Amino acid sequence: MLKIANLRSGYGASEVLHGLDLELAPGEIVAVMGRNGMGKSTLMKTLMGIIPAMGGEMSVAQTPLNGLKSHKRVAAGVAYVPQGRMIFSALTVQENIETGLTVTGRREAPQDLYSMFPVLWEMRGRRGGNLSGGQQQQLAIARALASDPKTLLLDEPTEGIQPSIIKDMARTLKQLRDARGLSILVSEQVLSFALDVADRIVVIDNGRFVHEAQRADVDAAAVERFLSV
């Protein structure tokens, strides 16, 4: 579904990602693990067109993404939940979700989005900025889903979220995958969450994938070594 080949990217003249290869099957959840500064967010932003790629190929469902503006990538089927959630704080919850509808041409958010996140239905008239962190995270996911994506990118979704909600989130993501056949690429530092949610784990270190394992074969100690500071 999502395919990247020899992807290189970075900021200004300094290269951060040194040629990444990865392929996500439809309905597969892959976790990219790594410490701060190893290139997780850079990968997400490059896929989303927020920072330009320096080389390599990326595509979603055979549509090449290279050089496309962000909104064209959304239309091609990529959706993005950024680090820090970045919801539109002055817009209401409902309006936040509706911003995601732009590429679909629909006027109203499908009801199953709200049934997936009932708290958003209760809060639909409140401003996004007045929600708690966990609610904002749900809102950011719902907003991303409103564009009917084929691939969902989640950048450190557990950051600053309380443990009980992290559990819920893992369950929701798996339900989503089952219901919609969505491929999900999630970057993460918390190994327990990654093991809970992902089918496959890749470890990124200094802009290179250095380790890869199916969930069943993950050597937790080996992965921990890449995560500890």
Partner 1 sequence: MFGEYSLSELASIFAMQGFSGLILFSVFVLMALGLAIIYGQMGVINMAHGEFMILGAYVTYLVSRAFGELPHALFNVYFPVAMVAAFLVAGALGAFVEWALIRRLYRRPLDTLLATWGLSLILQQLYRTIFGAREVGVTMPEWMMGSLKLSDTIEVPINGILVMGIAVAISIAVGVMMHRSSWGRQVRAVVQNRTMAGAVGIDTERTDRLTFAVGCGIAGVAGSAFTMIGSTGPSSGQLYIVDTFLVVVFGGAASLLGTIASAFTISQAQSILEFFLSGSMAKVLTLLTVVGILMLRPQGLFALKLRK
Q: Which residues bind partner 1 (CB under 8 A)?
A: 48-50, 69-71, 74-75, 79-80, 82, 86, 88-91, 95, 98-103, 107, 127, 129-130, 143-144, 146-147
Q: Minimal distance in Å, beta carbon 91 to partner 1?
A: 6
Is the CB of 95 or the CB of 159 nearer to partner 1?
95
What are the DSSP E strand ranges found in 39-98? 53-60, 63-64, 78-81
What residues pair up with 80 in beta bridges, in sequence order?
Answer: 153
Is the CB of 9 or the CB of 147 nearer to partner 1?
147
Q: Which residue in this structure is represented by tokens 């090449």?
A: 64
- Between the two ends of the chain, the Cα-to-Cα distance in Å is 33
Q: Minimal distance in Å, beta carbon 88 to partner 1?
A: 5
Q: Minimal distance in Å, beta carbon 47 to partner 1?
A: 10
Q: Minimal distance in Å, beta carbon 74 to partner 1?
A: 3
Is the CB of 50 or the CB of 213 nearer to partner 1?
50
The whole-angstrom separation of Cα 106 and Cα 89 is 22
Is the CB of 100 or the CB of 200 nearer to partner 1?
100
Is the CB of 35 or the CB of 126 nearer to partner 1?
126
Q: Minimal distance in Å, beta carbon 82 to partner 1?
A: 7
Distance of CA 56 to the CA centre of its chain: 20
Q: How wide is the angle at C-alpha 61 spanned by C-alphas 56 and 65, nearest 5°?
A: 40
